[in-house]
Amino acid sequence: MRLGWDDGSLNAPELARRAEAHGVAWITVHGRTRCQFYKGQADWNAIAVVKNAVSLPVIANGDCQSLSDAKAILSASSADGVMIGRAALGQPWLVGQIAKALAGEVYIETPIEHRQEAVSEHYDDLLSLFGIETGIRHARKHLAAYLDDAVSLGAQWSDAERLELLTSQDHHVVTKQLARLYRTIDRKEAA
């Protein structure tokens, strides 16, 4: 749930109490109102009001993009856990990295080879699930996010190559482009 419809109707604590009374095991609260959509900053302190209204586990959501964000969210909200949403697009391994670090394990960046494997597997799974034609269209937003992640690691990729990767109707071309994309990253610099 969100905090409410708008600033004038912050009804998440009441909704959480009702959910708890009806046997819900846990809830996730996004720290924005519906009218905010994704604008502004998530209000993690407002999630604490929901947490204080119920005895069931509360998971905090909104603007969690890193381990430091996760720690800040947990501190401000008193929540029992965090949910990562949009930040996982293009870097789904982030969820596991943060979970391990919060559990006390050493935070280790995902190696480029594992990223490439995950991206290729995700692309193949989308084609298998939706069929080639629909899968290619569905994969585009994911490919754009993966491309942005690879570029942030130093991948050398032109606007023309980006356009080809994101608009190609040929899954063989996309698969070859993805393999080439990760070869353009300087492994020493990215480490």
pLDDT tens-digit profile of 117-153?
999 999 999 999 999 999 999 999 999 999 999 999 9
Backbone angles phi, psi at 80, to 5 degrees: -85, -10
pLDDT tens-digit profile of 22-71?
999 999 999 999 999 989 899 999 999 999 999 999 999 999 999 999 99
Give the domain CATH number at 18: 3.40.50.12600
Q: Can you name the residues that pair with 2 across neighbouring β-strands?
A: 30
Q: Which of 88, 104, 125 is the last residue of a domain?
A: 88
Q: What span, in angstroms and rounded, lies between the C-alpha atoms of 98 and 164?
A: 33
Q: Does residue 119 sit in the same domain as residue 186?
A: yes
Please give the residue range of the domain that contains residue 134: 112-190
Q: What is the pTM of this model?
A: 0.83
